[in-house]
Amino acid sequence: MVPLVQSEVLSKGWMNEAEFADALASGYALPGPIATKLALYVGYQEAGWLGALSSLVGVVLPSGLLILGLLALGSSFREHPRVQGAMAVVRPVVVAMLVMMIVDLIPGTVTEVRGVLIAALALVLLLFRVPPAIVIATGALLGAVFLTKG
């Protein structure tokens, strides 16, 4: 969902890459699905509370109905070789989409050596299974203390 939201938000001019990166970082700092948080953020920014509500319904309702349909079908056909083959291909495609999103976000977020070092440190912490919320909160705190301008 995130690459789709990113594409739509940027193509419509609702945000630039840096603003989207900020919204994404804010969304990852909070619990819950990122797509709904992004929808609320963008909807509220563009049209206030009504925009937030509309975007939330627009994200949750269609995917909720589709997942219910897939669950109904999946429980009946989960072991079918074609379904297993489809899932074996879909997983790497999703990984490729996430990598592409990261590549798109790098120019707007990692603009200097310090950013590369911060990203590398965060990756190491995540590889050691430090919970993402702790990595994000620690990064935000360190940035607020040490990188405040003015």
Is 142 part of any domain?
A: no
User: How confident is the prediction for the chain on average, in pLDDT?
Assistant: 87
Q: What is the pTM of this model?
A: 0.57
Q: Residue 10: inside a domain, yes or no?
A: yes
Question: Residue 102: pLDDT above 70?
Answer: yes
23 neighbors 5 (Cβ within 8 angstroms)? no
Q: Report CA dihedral (29, 30, 31, 35) to the nearest 10 degrees.
A: -90
pLDDT tens across 66-96, in order? 989 888 877 778 788 888 898 889 999 999 9
Task: Reply yes or no on whether the pLDDT at 55 is more than 70.
Answer: yes
User: What pLDDT score was predicted for residue 12?
Assistant: 93
Statement: residue 130 has pLDDT above 80? yes
Q: Say if 113 falls within a structural domain.
A: no
Q: Token digits for 147?
A: 């990188």
pLDDT at 150: 61
- Say what the pLDDT of residue 50 is: 96
What mean pLDDT is predicted for residues 23-48? 88
3-state secondary structure of 15: coil
Q: Is the dihedral of CA 92, 93, 95, 99 positive or negative?
A: positive
**Residue 63 lies inside a defined structural domain of this protein:** yes
Per-residue pLDDT at 61 exceeds 90: yes
Tally the domains of the chain: 1
64: containing domain: 2-80
Q: Say if CB 101 and CB 2 are below 8 A apart.
A: yes
